[in-house]
A = this chain, B = another copy of it.
Amino acid sequence: MTFANIAIIGLGLQGGSIGLAVREFLPESRTRGYDLSAQHRARAAERRLVDEVCTTAAEAVRDADLVIFCVPPGVMGIAAEQVRAGLPANALVSDVGSSKQAVAKALGDALPEHVVIPAHPVAGTENSGPDAGFAHLFRNRWCIVTPPAKVDMVKLSGLVSFWEALGANVEIMTAEHHDLVLAVTSHLPHLIAYTIVGTASDLEDVTQSEVIKYSAGGFRDFTRIAASDPTMWRDVFLSNKEAVLTMLQRFTEDLTALQRAIRIGDGDQLFDHFARTRAIRRSIIEEGQDDARPDFGRGDHEGR
């Protein structure tokens, strides 16, 4: 099955990229979009992120056979309630949220009569808002689909084909497992990055200007992630609390072990730890999940 009328609720990085990707890769499908912010709606119309920008969520889902919620995890339920009156009974409900158990429950509670199949494209940049999206965001990225135990197989297969058409590879797993995997590959890295950038900002002996000047020593990498949308990330941590706290506990134990090795001067333990982390980067590059060039191919080494 293909979707003829796709409604996109929330026109930020994800919603905008989906709209642009549908126009490029699924030109037969028609897109309607809605965003809570009038300013974002205006900008979305200028950039033609969707075929039609609507002034209410209910209007955007009129005739929809697929609605994708692209709002922060904490307001998925509210956004879903806003479309309930106008959403066709046969429409498939999905989303792009970074946590899946909480979002699946929020969407299911708000739209109990509809088929809900949550999804999460593991793709993004540090930018947000209606200017951030681009059609190729999902190319060669993974999209994780987390169907409930009993699922409409035709709709599931339609959703898988949809994401594949946008350039993504699709993997299916339970929402529980998704939340554990993403806690380590995405949520914990963001928490750590937000923390260290905050720590560096609060020092008394080192000035902000020094932190900025000498950031090429490694710190600058963390500032990219820590520039991500604060509303969305607040919601991610609140909605995937247990898995994040579990991973954080592991991380803290490991950090404490390295801290002790530094304190007692155990160079062998440090070396052994540092030597075994290279292989994983090599695999990430081999799997096409990162740029092989040194320093991510950053432009500030131009002419190398």
Contact = CB atoms under 8 A, between A and B. Distances in A.
A197 B255 CA distance: 11
A287 to B, nearest CB: 5
Contact of A226 (B281, B298, B302): B281
A189 B297 contact: no
A181 B200 CA distance: 10
A139 interface: yes
B227 A277 contact: yes
Contacts of A208: 280, 283
A186 B214 contact: yes
Query: Which of A181, A267, A271 has the most chain B CB atoms inside 10 A of its CB?
Result: A181
A182 B214 contact: yes
Contacts of A237: 262, 270
A128 to B, nearest CB: 10
A134 interface: yes
Contacts of A231: 271
Interface residues of A, number: 118
A233 B261 CA distance: 13
B234 A303 contact: no
Contacts of A125: 294-295, 301
A215 to B, nearest CB: 5
Contact of A142 (B206, B216, B265, B290): B216
Contacts of A45: none
A125 B226 CA distance: 21
A123 interface: yes
A195 B255 contact: yes
A262 B280 contact: no
A212 B304 contact: no
A254 B187 CA distance: 17
A206 B181 contact: yes
Query: Which of A187, A191, A212, A233 has the most chain B CB atoms inside 10 A of its CB?
Result: A212
Given A221-B225, A228-B274, A231-B271, 7 more contacts: A189-B218, A189-B219, A202-B254, A226-B281, A227-B278, A248-B255, A296-B297
28 contacts: A125-B295, A126-B281, A132-B294, A136-B302, A136-B304, A137-B301, A137-B304, A181-B210, A182-B217, A185-B214, A188-B199, A189-B196, A189-B217, A189-B222, A197-B277, A198-B273, A198-B277, A199-B247, A199-B250, A212-B287, A220-B290, A226-B277, A226-B281, A233-B270, A234-B267, A241-B262, A245-B263, A297-B297
